Structure 1
């Protein structure tokens, strides 16, 4: 969170002190470089901050935290070949049908939305509530290839007269990954890092012995991150460092990166679920100046030459370091009144390719990038063959099939008569327009293909795998023809577990694109199928959306540029390559191949394929000169690709231990959110010189109630007592899963006094603390309340000693709890069973989003006195 770590030129005054601070900063950099060269990682820089309310914004001075290893070298060194692991697990996939009740895949395939600016919201709406003002925001952005790494630094200040609790909210884009959050408030330091999900109980037990309070980064709505920050004293400055990354995609050959600076209320629908729960919009109205300083520096590094760089939002200065590298700064008054948008283009008149390499301490990485030409219409594109694989089951009747007709007509009318088409209809069984081979795209054949959709709907039981096998078995024309399968479905189909493996293994034979359409689309299946085809999913949920989304889809798939593409490596040993087989290079879909390599970075990369009827060959040099440290982000790109693939596999094989271990290792070693990892925050006092820490009399979401024996002076006097402290507003409490209202809710339901008012003569349960993680559930708050209402009295009845356990509650499409299973027991099996036995049969308004099943993962801590 230091200006030093961003290399920012900050005016620190003149004179000997300024000169000395400069020497110190250079020493910090040299120390970091030395530690990095020995395999250590400096996790961050801490800032000393004054907390005087009269002081102006303090000038931070740097101090280095003790460097930590990411994980043990053996843990982060992927000694197991991931390709071999994939083959072993592929062999375990049977022909049984699979369902997708998990929200993880569903989240990945949701409509792409931009990130919104993170902000710190004070809890409560009383006039006495403190005011948190954003004083400064600056960012260091590094864009390498298609990945943007962002280090965002914000400074807030409590300008009110009272201490406040707050919620730090970051609505991230669909592809964003939050790696780390660091908060500094005076001598307090809050740090959130990736942890294994099932370590929750252990972390809570260890927290008390280390004078720390542990909480989770909430993620109740897909990609909306929420962290509690409590006890911000009047005049305190709160410094936040948020490290996240997100992919940068081209749209019509233009790459665009957006750094959110103002979450404008005009973005309809983006935060509706959040706004409905009461998080206010405390930003200025669009167009008005907001009172904080804003700065950004962007380092852009690409594998192919940069053609143009521009910003429609700000005046910028661009410094080109080479034809592939540039540094971008603001060139105007630095005020944060609008989002920063950067656009750049890479495409030339021909296919452009390039190589990036990175040599790590233990692993080496290589990435190959292929960019389409700027105007593919003027470039000789290959002949095209489109095979439409269309779901004609009962659920597709109405606007879904009508949209499919329009999509087919518009796409096929763009074809030349020498291009080819075919149709495979499926609903239980499959039917093919011409099984002996695709037909020319003449007007008569196009009308005949579209008229097939006017037939009767099929029976229940929609066989996707049968349809795909029928499509791939159609005799293929010449090798230089680009074949594309276009799957149109609502996703509620019978899919064998092997369907995604089948698509991956045949990707060099045909592209596969997916268009999900219907009033309710199974985004999980549509998203997994699109990822298997190395593409992105398109979804339309209504007739109003259908035309616009179908047009985007048509533009995305209509122009292949290089077919039968392949990449080979000569001179060095490559492993863990992804993707293993390549789809065609499309006008709106670049190709990225990334792998690890062993040995010296010396050799050649050869690219081949067909453009039109011509053979395409290109040879690129791989040498130590291009294996620079600035290419480090390709490591994350490799990890993201493999994690995405293995997570989809893990959802099909959730009980395969080695698959779970691989997913866990990738998530932890590369700080990426995964099925089995999550961000966990620790709040603690900074250590003293002797290594001790000062206990914190404070709360995070656990909201520990002070005991009667706690002193009435010192820190306690600085904060409202547990009985007078302003509670969370009901809306924000619904998001944060507030624990502070749980005792009051139980009192209202049972008629008993709250636990802190009861007189206990014998050891009894005094607090039941819950943590919830919802999977594919709409309105999870209703189920959370029902679980608390059932489990809390059961715990008082069944538990005889402090306990911690984790259990999973499964819900069907009607909101009925159909099962509760223990994931991690307390060691007392009878007690655990007694606690959850009342859950099955409960009915609430919590229902799955767009699948048959949803679930709620619950971590329960029982405290006694």
Structure 2
């Protein structure tokens, strides 16, 4: 009998917290613990946001207020999210009546300036970008009783879909898992509050909307708001007073224009040395009906710990709608993933009612546990044999709480073939960079589903997109004008109900126009737009053009990491005063406030878990790899608890044995949807009677879920040795 032994190290949340704070080596999130009573633990006092939306452009001002209610100087560290399209072009620090305007510097230079100011006892602030949607603010030497405000300004281009506009202000960064172990700054290593706890800071947002057409149907599905109309085309939206602690979920505002119009046209701006334009064209009316090929759908469903509870309920409702709308001629497969992965079938199967019902049955057996091993799951899904004569689409359903964006984009780009990737972000504070990036690289569309009641609508949107006519071979040309640095450089095929847009520079101007053309089936489509005179009101166009250029070079282009590309992005950030991966904002008050900088304590602002996310998203991760071994039949599994703390060892063994002993035959069928005969022995040994490897793999996942309880009860590292005996 061959013995295969696997070791899993569970470093539970309290141990992780202490280890991370003392050694700074852990890259994982952890729960907050109360430290020195003299040190301010929650330095962020409030976040207030003012938004002015004019046409397709949002101008946003964010005010973060920090206060030290402790007895020693502190350095506040706050990790916060941003829109993936935000062009951050201004930062200032306010101390009483003084305003210190931040300067944009190369990242390493900005860090050096900040550290030197901190060590010299000066107040300073540093804004850095970790990801296109994750920023970090450091504010040094906040004295006891002192309040410091930091102001950020950014602009964002809003792209309407289905004739509907949506403005999103992200409020919280969900926990991320990473393999980082080196001693470096890592935003993933951040304290979190327990599930259900409100943020310790207040949140307020005010949005003014000024459009060229009458506004209708303004509303927020995420927050309660008060809406005032000052004219048919100008309205103001304010957060209701009851939402003062509503910073635990993204603020989402939707609005439509009368007659399903969108703000089409050309906007121009002249800096004196360069001329910029934004050209946006309403979706063309494509009246031909495309041929709909037989389709194969590979669903990749996240059932990890962060999806436990509400998010997984939303995902299941979405999956029910996605599966029910398939045609009988379609084929499908589902890959469930957490720390490991389990395929519904080795290859895709027909979308018959019996197969769909079996998929529902299997899906209901998952309740959310374990880590989020997205990359191995995608590799496995991509390896599924492709059905000849079928158009393949991958549909990924996840909250995106992992820090493997770049590697994921690379994998999709290098394995794409003729397939498309559609993504569904699940929850109130998803990782939009990952969700949008996978769809962008995979030539698909991203969707966000925040509640179960929205699942059917978003499932129908996917169906409509797939079956919609497409405008192909799209290009832009100029008449009596020279067009330069156009973004996108190559226009992708356009699904119906999405506008065409271009950012760029131009030379010339008098009696000039843009000509946009494409193919609608076999018919040529053309649209001509006259070039207007430059307007001082469009002074944000340089920021937007540069941000789109950076997005093209950096956000999703992770394959090419040549020094040339880094220099280009750095140069764009410095020239156009933009926050990038390689440029940061730094502000220093030159008046020292403390003589001994060693007294300053660093405090990381604890973050709330996104609304609906459980504690299982934070703490530890145990990976159970595939349990299927070629040519071998597994006959026995033994789980042994090893821990230096003898009392903790006994407690853990008791919990484990109790859990295993409760797994009676009918319970197992209900839990995993499959029958498996077991004999439970003292100490955690599980004898497999019917030698069903697939059932065993599922059972180990439920054991993993039960072991989550151990991790929340102790502060000692526990080693769980799982021995698999195979014939």
TM-score, L = length of structure 1: 0.45
2:505 aligned residue: 596
1:578 aligned residue: 487
Equivalent residues of 1:388, 1:488 under 8 A apart: no
2:152 aligned residue: 242
Q: How does 1:740-755 map to 2 (within 5 A)?
A: none
Q: Could you say what secondary structure the match of 2:498 adopts?
A: coil
Q: How does 1:90-109 map to 2 (within 5 A)?
A: none
In structure 2, which of residues 106, 112, 115 is the aligned counterpart of residue 196 of structure 1?
Answer: 106
Sort the Cα spacing of 1:163 and 1:187 in 2 relative to 1 into closer, same or farther, 3 A: farther
Residue by residue, what CA displacement relative to the aligned partner does 1:395-420 show, whole Å, maximum 9, x if unpaired? 99xx999998974662547xxxxxx9
Q: How does 1:307-326 map to 2 (within 5 A)?
A: 307-308=215-216, 310=218, 313-319=225-231
Q: Could you say what secondary structure the match of 2:548 adopts?
A: helix
Give, in angstroms, the shift of residue 423 of structure 1: 9.5
Sort the Cα spacing of 1:698 and 1:129 in 2 relative to 1 into closer, same or farther, 3 A: same
Cα distance in 1 for residues equivalent to 2:98 and 2:583: 25
1:635 aligned residue: 542
Equivalent residues of 1:231, 1:698 under 8 A apart: no
Higher strand content, 1 or 2: 2
Residue by residue, what CA displacement relative to the aligned partner does 1:18-56 show, whole Å, maximum 9, x if unpaired? xxxxxxxxxxxxxxxxxxxxxxxxxxxxxxxxxxxxxxx
2:325 aligned residue: 410
Give, in angstroms, the shift of residue 569 of structure 1: 2.1
Cα distance in 2 for residues equivalent to 1:295 and 1:675: 27
Cα distance in 2 for residues equivalent to 1:124 and 1:547: 42
Cα distance in 2 for residues equivalent to 1:231 and 1:522: 31
Q: Could you say what secondary structure the match of 1:651 adopts?
A: coil
Cα distance in 2 for residues equivalent to 1:697 and 1:249: 46
In structure 2, which of residues 276, 280, 284 is the aligned counterpart of residue 365 of structure 1?
Answer: 276
Q: How does 1:785-864 map to 2 (within 5 A)?
A: none
Cα distance in 1 for residues equivalent to 2:58 and 2:269: 17
Q: How does 1:303-342 map to 2 (within 5 A)?
A: 305=213, 307-308=215-216, 310=218, 313-319=225-231, 327-329=234-236, 337=244
2:572 counterpart of 1:684: no
Give, in angstroms, the shift of residue 562 of structure 1: 5.1
Cα RMSD of the aligned pairs, angstroms, is 6.4
Sort the Cα spacing of 1:617 and 1:459 in 2 relative to 1 into closer, same or farther, 3 A: closer
Cα distance in 2 for residues equivalent to 1:341 and 1:488: 24
Cα distance in 2 for residues equivalent to 1:332 and 1:342: 11
Q: How does 1:47-58 map to 2 (within 5 A)?
A: none
Q: Could you say what secondary structure the match of 1:195 adopts?
A: strand
Q: How does 1:493-572 map to 2 (within 5 A)?
A: 500=413, 512-515=420-423, 528-532=437-441, 535-537=444-446, 551=459, 554-555=462-463, 557-558=465-466, 560=468, 563-564=471-472, 566-571=474-479, 572=481
Q: Could you say what secondary structure the match of 2:289 adopts?
A: coil
1:665 aligned residue: 571
Cα distance in 1 for residues equivalent to 2:593 and 2:123: 10
Sort the Cα spacing of 1:578 and 1:386 in 2 relative to 1 into closer, same or farther, 3 A: farther
Give, in angstroms, the shift of residue 248 of structure 1: 3.7
1:861 aligned residue: none
Cα distance in 1 for residues equivalent to 2:300 and 2:71: 62
Greater RCO structure (CA 8 Å; 6+ sep): 2
Q: Could you say what secondary structure the match of 1:281 adopts?
A: coil
Residue by residue, what CA displacement relative to the aligned partner does 1:40-93 show, whole Å, maximum 9, x if unpaired? xxxxxxxxxxxxxxxxxxxxxxxxxxxxxxxxxxxxxxxxxxxxxxxxxxxxxx
Equivalent residues of 1:257, 1:342 under 8 A apart: yes
Cα distance in 2 for residues equivalent to 1:651 and 1:264: 22
Residue by residue, what CA displacement relative to the aligned partner does 1:460-496 show, whole Å, maximum 9, x if unpaired? 976969999x99xx89xxxxxxxx8633469999999
2:554 aligned residue: 647
Q: Could you say what secondary structure the match of 1:665 adopts?
A: helix
Residue by residue, what CA displacement relative to the aligned partner does 1:574-621 show, whole Å, maximum 9, x if unpaired? 122222333444355333222222222642223344668865433221
1:617 aligned residue: 526
Residue by residue, what CA displacement relative to the aligned partner does 1:132-179 show, whole Å, maximum 9, x if unpaired? 89799573x333554422123467888x79786473747334524544
Q: Could you say what secondary structure the match of 1:577 adopts?
A: strand
2:594 aligned residue: 698
Unaligned runs of 5+ residues in structure 2 are 1-33, 175-187, 304-311, 336-345, 360-375, 399-403, 609-616, 621-715, 718-727
In structure 2, which of residues 36, 56, 62 is the aligned counterpart of residue 152 of structure 1?
Answer: 62
Number of matched pairs: 510
Cα distance in 2 for residues equivalent to 1:145 and 1:604: 20
Equivalent residues of 1:299, 1:328 under 8 A apart: yes
Q: Could you say what secondary structure the match of 2:566 adopts?
A: helix
1:281 aligned residue: 199
Q: How does 1:391-430 map to 2 (within 5 A)?
A: 407=322, 410-412=325-327
In structure 2, which of residues 580, 583, 603 is the aligned counterpart of residue 674 of structure 1?
Answer: 580
Cα distance in 2 for residues equivalent to 1:670 and 1:587: 34
Give, in angstroms, the shift of residue 661 of structure 1: 0.8
2:136 counterpart of 1:225: yes
Equivalent residues of 1:464, 1:495 under 8 A apart: no
Q: Could you say what secondary structure the match of 1:644 adopts?
A: helix
Q: Could you say what secondary structure the match of 2:489 adopts?
A: coil
Q: Could you say what secondary structure the match of 2:509 adopts?
A: coil
TM-score, L = length of structure 2: 0.52
Q: Could you say what secondary structure the match of 2:597 adopts?
A: coil
Sort the Cα spacing of 1:584 and 1:642 in 2 relative to 1 into closer, same or farther, 3 A: same
Unaligned runs of 5+ residues in structure 1 are 1-122, 285-289, 321-325, 414-419, 434-443, 476-483, 686-694, 706-721, 736-776, 781-843, 846-865
Q: Could you say what secondary structure the match of 1:660 adopts?
A: helix
Sort the Cα spacing of 1:658 and 1:404 in 2 relative to 1 into closer, same or farther, 3 A: same
